[in-house]
Structure formats: C-alpha cells, structure tokens
Structure 1
C-alpha cells in the first residue's frame, strides 16, 4: 500500500516490510549543524535544500513537462517556493527546515547552490527544475552522498541517487498505448515532433506497441513550429488511414486540433482514434470539438483542483499544473522524517516499491532515478474531458 502524501498534508509510514520500523527517533538530531542565514521555510531540525531558479530569466527545461506546459523561468522559482511553503503549512509538526537556494537556472548556478545547501547541513536536495541545473546539482550531491529529488522531465539527467518526480514522457506513452490496446486497438501510427522529446516518445511507443503484439503502420516526424510540414506529414498519415485504427499525437497546444482538421478534410477522422499525452491536459485541446472522443493520459484531476484552490487562497493566483511537484516533494521529505527515522533519505527508502500517494496520485522512484506514476485516461468531450479509466491507487503486490 502506498504511503499517503495527499492533500491533507500527512505522509503516513509506508506499510509492509519495505520500510521497516525505527524506534526512538529523533535522538539529538542535527547536533552541531551550522547556522543558516539564507531564505528558509520552516523551523525543523532536519535540513532540506530546495534549489530553484529564483533569479533566472531563461533556461532550458529539457523535455516538455506533462501534464500541461511548464511555467516560464521568471515565475517557476517563486511558484515552486510557494508550493513548498503551502506543503509545510499543511503538514502539522513537520520536523524539517527548507533552505531555499537560487540556481539561476544554470548548471554552474545549481552546482554552487547544491554546495551551499550541503555545507548548511542539507540531508536531501529538492529540485532543481531545469535539466542542465539537475546535472550540475547531481554531480555535487552524488559526491557527498546526498540524494536529489528533481523536477526536470528530461530522463537523461536521472541516475541512482538523482530521482525525477516530474511527469515523464515514458509513463505517458506506456499508459495510453496500453489502454488503447485494452480497447482492441491493433494498428498504430504516430505523428511526432522531430526533436529530443519526439525521439524519447518514439522509442517507448515502439516498445509498447510491440508488447501488445500490434502493428505500427507508419511514423511521421514533423519540424516543430512548421505548420506546412505538419500538414504534409498529417496528410501522409491520412493517405494510409484505411490501415490505421489509432493515431498517436503527443504534442499539445494547437497541434492535435490542427491534425484533426487535416484528417477530417480527408474524411478519415471517424475511422481513426486519436490518442495523446499529458500535454493534452489543457482547455485548448479539451474544448476542441473535432477531438471529441480522443484519449489522453493524466493524473487524477481532483487532487490538483483542491491544491489549486488552497494555493489561490494563500497566494492570490491559480498555480500552473506542475506546481504540485514542489508540494509533493516537500510533503515526501517531511513524511519520511516522521516515518523512516535515521534511514529517511536512503536509496532503500526512496525506492520503496509500494511508492507514495501524492496530490497527483500514486508514484514511486525506480533505482535508475526515473519514476512510475498511476495515471488515469481521459476522453476529450469538446467541452472539457471526462475520465474513462481511473488512475490506480496502488502499484499492487505483483508490480
């Protein structure tokens, strides 16, 4: 059973034998740690570094986070700091102090920020956000034996001890292709951006379709931000629509609706089920009538709505979709301090196979630094979206 990291702000000790019991904690925790004069949240005895692009005006986020678009670098640092602050206010009696360190959104800035946090006694690093910064912080943390729970969705920066809490493209593809297969879909095509994100999802798409024993009829790759090329590649797929029952289009924004228009103009849309990714979790996609009936994966929506309401009450604005990452990471840190004692941030505890239950549902870290999430499947209605297959609440004993 997953440990709870939910909206109530409490993380219970993981049940079962994978975490174990630790008696008598704390006993003189953090004796002799240095004083901290930087930006802090909370007054607990266990120190956790929070590495964010507080002063950055730009930066490369790596692969697109899903669901939804990542907020701009000028705001993401403050948004994630707010979410961490909200988490500590929700978790009564949290015995952690968060040390907020500015990465500037760069690898070198993150390296310095990680060094500062560790020198100040941090036992765990949360963040950074951008892939280059995760690489910089990870190199420092690994040499010091300090684990990292980061927010980039670029799987290339994950490794043992550097865990990604983000919404990963791999999990999206696995969920939606598996669901399509369960609904009898057997002939697939894909329309992918010709970039790093497209390369990642193509590899997983091929693998997952193969697991179904299904066929890939064609894969077309288009130049991002080139409408003419996108139209030409969509038309190439439409020409083979008679052999296709499922079309995978992971890009969000205006792309799915544009592709649907092209398919409809050739009278092929009714023959082909369109499926997407967590990037479809936006009004622009959900309210497009031509996409009605299309499927996409995403976390349970109810948890985010409750979180967003509390965030707005406290900070006066609605948070971006991925602000829950900072909230869940903070609750995870506080909960493990409470439940796992001196072993709180060890690899064994962080990669507990039962996982944890957060705002966005159940998740667990893998030994290679990637994660698995329990996602729902949604159907576009043209006036929003509805869940057609709920997210699992646990990973199950056999998983």
Structure 2
C-alpha cells in the first residue's frame, strides 16, 4: 500500500496532461485528466519518488525514458495467455510510439499467469526501479504482484476483471461487470422501466452481476419480479430452457428482462419464450458488454435489445493503427495496455514527483482513454463512462452517448 503518512512535500499540478494525436486523427490517444476541462486539480500530498540508483534493467525493455514502469504479462502462460501477452505488449509499444517524447521505460516481466510468477515479476521490476506496475492480467498473478508492490509502496494498475483482487493501491483498469449493470439498469429506469426480471448464470460472475443488479434496481426505486439462476454444462442448455419457462408466469408483470450472459444465451431465451407462447412484445431485453458481438448484432431475434459499452470511435482508430503495425486486428481488450501506458506517460509529464501518488491516481475527475472516460476508486475498482446501444438485427446503434464528465454525467 502506498504510504501517504510520510509527506515528502506538496506539489501543485499546474500542467495538464498533454494528449497525442493518434496517427494523424482527431482522436486523443493519450490519456488526459478529465479535470483539465477548466478545473484546477489543486495540491496533492503523496510519497516522493525514490531517487536511489536502481538495479540495471534485465530482460526485454521498451522505451528509453528515465522513469521505469513494470509491465507484467503472462508471456510463458501458454495458449491464450501467451496470445494475450503478445497483444498487450504490442499495444504498449504502440502507445509509446504515439506519445511524443514519452519519458518512461517499460520493464517487461513474465508472470506465467500465476501467483508465484506475479510475485517474482513484481520483485524483479521493483528491484530495477519500477515506480508503477502495469498488469498482471490474471487474478492470481495480480494477487502475487500486489503483495510485493504494497510492501514497497508501488501502485499497481492491473488488467484483471476480478474485483476480489482490487484494493487501495491495486487498481483495475479493466471493464468491470458492475459498471455494465449500473449503466444499463440506470438507463432502463430513465426510460420508465420499473419492473425487472433476470436470468443469471450460476458461479462467481453471476454472483457479482446479481449483487449489482439488486443494488441498482433498488437505487432506481424499481422492483424485481423474479430472478432465475441457471447452469450451463458444456452445450447442455436444459437448465437454461427450464428456468426460462419458469419465468413465463411472471412476464406480464415485467417491463424489462435482464440477460447478462453473451454467446447464444439471450437468443435461446427469446426463442424459447416465443415457442411457449409467452408474450414478450412489450418486454425490453437488457444485456451487458458480453452482447457486443457480431453474432448478436446480426441476430433478428435480438433486434430492439439494449446493452452498454464504450463508444466505438476510439477503438476503430486504434484497431486500424494496430493492424497496420502488426498485421492483424486486435481483440477488444487490447486497449487496456495502450491506455495503461499512456496513463503512466501522461502522469509523468504532468504531475512531477507526485505522478503515481494515491491522490493523483484516484483523482475524482478521472482520465480519458481510447474507450472514453474512466476513474479509479479508492477501493481499487473503477468507474467508466459507457454508452448504451440498441441491436437492430443487422448491427447496432448508439441510443445514449457515454458521459464526458463524471461531475455532471454529461
């Protein structure tokens, strides 16, 4: 955990994080402090950056700056883990290439995706002078790295979606399911949807989703008519069909049906209800970012459904640049590494010796990245500015834009 009890002095932020032009486009590819829209962030206390001589860097290094940042990836994890590591490393390189005169140097360390690997990688990076850790990707490695970083007073900005590893000093940059639920239920309530039902998968993801769903429906003074929990075993959808049928008697009381899972779950639910004669004509189907797939967008059964997600302009420009540099299209989450690196580079440029202090990283005005507005919460989780999309049967259309300002929600 970062020690903010020993104050090394006060540093007033008088500069704004400067944005870089992304491949000549109008898109701001560097992260900027959202508070730069006319506000002064004031003075923030925090720890001084250790100016002692670090150990010489070993292994792969990206960039030539004077401020060292660890980039912890599952390079030897095998299979999809190694693929993710390669994509994230490429995205990090792209970020430095598109941030002029960045003064950071990335120390790439392998976690193998394990807790032990995360600890070893963090120890090596910190011994070599890393002032910030970006990554790891998987929750066990985040836990391992965080334990080492906390003891050394080095903050971690990780890419895991598992909120159980979030804590003060260990911040998650990923897309968290709670944000999806808050945005879509809040929007539905704003459109006079008051009575909700839900089909929620069993397991950890389902538990997180259900807790957020109950909280958000309560916050909007709505009511929950029914929640059905289902399990999927491979391709066996028997339980899902059974739980869908169990909802039939409640649907006349429901304004919106929340189906958070992606894949073929929501289309099967709609198909099953139609087949058993359930009238769902006035029921709005609600989903999460897991609905943001080509198959969902082209499925006529899902036309009219709503789901949240980041606006797509930034990712399209990023994807084009990435494909031009590496010869393949990046996965959707590749922007996490890009935004993490530009966050670090931007804070080095703007915040001086306080650059990675808790008060800077948890600035309530947040930051602007490829996927829009985000901010870290004191508990290590994050909030994101998300849009709401409607499926059309042949694509999607934005029906509610992402907010540009956390303070006003606009």
Deviation at 1:213, TM superposition (A): 1.2
**Aligned residue number for residue 250 of structure 1:** 260
1:180 aligns with 2:188: yes
- For residue 210 of structure 2, give the secondary structure of its aligned residue in structure 1: helix
Contact 2:54-2:127 at 8 Å conserved across structures: no
Distance in 2 between residues matched to 1:273 and 1:3, nearest whole Å? 41
Cα–Cα, structure 1 residues 12 and 242, in superposed 2: closer, same or farther, change >3 Å? closer
**Aligned residue number for residue 148 of structure 1:** 156
Cα–Cα, structure 1 residues 46 and 306, in superposed 2: closer, same or farther, change >3 Å? same
Deviation at 1:397, TM superposition (A): 5.5
Cα–Cα, structure 1 residues 106 and 207, in superposed 2: closer, same or farther, change >3 Å? same
Residue of structure 1 aligned with 2:57, choices 29, 32, 36: 36
Deviation at 1:185, TM superposition (A): 0.3
**Aligned residue number for residue 381 of structure 2:** 370
Deviation at 1:30, TM superposition (A): 5.0
Cα–Cα, structure 1 residues 177 and 397, in superposed 2: closer, same or farther, change >3 Å? closer
- For residue 156 of structure 1, give the secondary structure of its aligned residue in structure 2: helix
Q: Deviations over 1:158-178 (max 9, x none)?
A: 000000000001100000000
Distance in 1 between residues matched to 2:19 and 2:137, nearest whole Å? 21
Deviation at 1:268, TM superposition (A): 2.2
**Aligned residue number for residue 217 of structure 1:** 225
**Aligned residue number for residue 324 of structure 1:** 335
Cα–Cα, structure 1 residues 218 and 161, in superposed 2: closer, same or farther, change >3 Å? same
Residue of structure 1 aligned with 2:245, choices 214, 235, 252: 235
1:291 aligns with 2:302: yes
Q: Deviations over 1:88-111 (max 9, x none)?
A: 000000000000000000010000
Gaps of 5+ in 2: 1-15, 23-27
1:133 aligns with 2:156: no
Contact 1:21-1:340 at 8 Å conserved across structures: no
Contact 2:32-2:367 at 8 Å conserved across structures: no
- For residue 163 of structure 1, give the secondary structure of its aligned residue in structure 2: strand
**Aligned residue number for residue 358 of structure 2:** 347
Q: Deviations over 1:118-145 (max 9, x none)?
A: 0000000000000111111101100000
**Aligned residue number for residue 310 of structure 1:** 321
TM-score under structure 1 length normalisation: 0.91
Deviation at 1:239, TM superposition (A): 2.8
Deviation at 1:253, TM superposition (A): 1.1
Q: Which has the higher contact order (CA 8 A, sep 6+)?
A: 1
Distance in 2 between residues matched to 1:306 and 1:398, nearest whole Å? 25
Deviation at 1:113, TM superposition (A): 0.2
**Aligned residue number for residue 202 of structure 2:** 194
**Aligned residue number for residue 215 of structure 2:** 207
Cα–Cα, structure 1 residues 3 and 291, in superposed 2: closer, same or farther, change >3 Å? farther
**Aligned residue number for residue 170 of structure 1:** 178
**Aligned residue number for residue 68 of structure 1:** none
**Aligned residue number for residue 399 of structure 2:** 388
**Aligned residue number for residue 3 of structure 2:** none
Contact 1:5-1:359 at 8 Å conserved across structures: no
Distance in 2 between residues matched to 1:31 and 1:146, nearest whole Å? 15
CA RMSD of aligned residues (A): 2.1
Distance in 2 between residues matched to 1:305 and 1:20, nearest whole Å? 37
Q: How many residues align?
A: 381
Distance in 1 between residues matched to 2:332 and 2:19, nearest whole Å? 17
* Matching of residues 82-97 of structure 1 within 5 Å: 82-97=90-105
- For residue 235 of structure 1, give the secondary structure of its aligned residue in structure 2: helix
**Aligned residue number for residue 66 of structure 1:** none
- For residue 80 of structure 1, give the secondary structure of its aligned residue in structure 2: helix
- For residue 264 of structure 1, give the secondary structure of its aligned residue in structure 2: helix
- For residue 218 of structure 1, give the secondary structure of its aligned residue in structure 2: strand
| Structure 1 stretch displaced more, 87-96 or 269-278 | 269-278
